[in-house]
Amino acid sequence: MKILVFGTKSYDKISFEKELKDYPDLQVNFTETNLTPLTATLAQGYKAVCGFVNSDISAMTLEVLRGLGVELVLMRCAGFDAVNVDFAKSVGMRVTRVPAYSPEAIAEHAMGLALCANRRIHKGYIRVRENDFSLEGLVGVTLHGKTAGILGTGRIGAALCRICKGFGMKVLGSDLYPNQKLVDEEHVVDEYVDYDTLYANSDLISLHAFLNKESYHLIDDESIAKMKDGVILVNSARGALVDSNALIRGIRSGKIGAVGLDVYEEENANVYQDRENQILGSSITARLCSFPNVVMTSHQAFFTHEALGQIARITLDNAEAYANGKDFIERSVVC
């Protein structure tokens, strides 16, 4: 089966080619071009395409792909909000994803963002490089003995719960489907609470929820107002979980003491792109970057050698299963 991997970076190609020796029945080609309605025609002659979080796999893209004979969309990421799943179902196309690749990598990055933003490590690093050894404006808070609120306790959230417990923190969980084992067996969640209780009692809040109609702008002016003064807020899940303008107001008011963002609402135009010679103008991203207590990275929480290898393996496993008429890997099927 022929597969075209869109939006390929050097690290994607390296990780896939390292695994391909174990998949002799798959022919995989790579293109740096991202998958959009205008570029979908590059898939002529392929049975499957592989996209990523910044792909545009809308109904129009799927219609073009289906017309070319493409049957399978392989998402090499956990999220599938880039895909019009309902339309894919209606035209008989299958969509898979990688539901969990090194959740510890993402959890570790989330804690790294929290530490960096809280202790102003990014500011201290820049000062020392310029021979400025002053400590003014760099004071943070000690996390030991504080309360962490983990909103979404799936594999990634659960991994962060374990990390927070290692820091000596009390951990509150909030999830539509609580994992009671984290309380009863692992003892890494002290208790599950509702959102309002989590907001009111947490010194550190980290978001690990899925993005859907109900969770869109989950963090808004109303929820921020319920948080503790000086709260540390981290988002390594999906940008639209947070209302960016409400976040800016919360930072300016002092309600939010530190912010770590690996995802943000404007990221699609920026993610994995080098825009250092461009002026972002009135961009919300530029405004967030102007605050000394905000640390932003470019959707890199997953970015470890281990995670890249797992992404490649699961993606290729799903492709091989489809080619041989076998079942996809459990939990990886979108439609």
Residues identified as active-site: 238, 267, 299
DSSP 5-43: E-S--HHHHHHHHHHGGG-TT-EEEE-SSPP-TTTGGGG
Task: Write phi, then psi, for 233 (nearest 5 degrees).
Answer: -115, 130
Give the residues across from 149 on adjacent strands: 172, 205
- Alpha carbons 11 and 27: distance in angstroms, whole number: 18
Strand order, beta sheet including 94-96: 27-30, 2-5, 48-51, 72-75, 94-96
DSSP 222-271: HHHHTSPTTEEEEE-S-GGGB-HHHHHHHHHHTSEEEEEES--TTGGGTT
How many alpha carbons lie under 13 Å from residue 316 in its C-beta half-sphere?
Answer: 23
- Alpha carbons 141 and 147: distance in angstroms, whole number: 12
For 181, other C-beta atoms within 10 Å of its C-beta total 12
Ramachandran bin of 126, using left for φ above 0, alpha for ψ from -120 to 50, beta for the remaining angles: alpha
Contact in structure between 147 and 204 (CB atoms under 8 Å): yes
- Alpha carbons 94 and 87: distance in angstroms, whole number: 11
The SS3 of residue 138 is coil
- Alpha carbons 51 and 64: distance in angstroms, whole number: 15
Task: Write phi, then psi, for 242 (nearest 5 degrees).
Answer: -115, 130
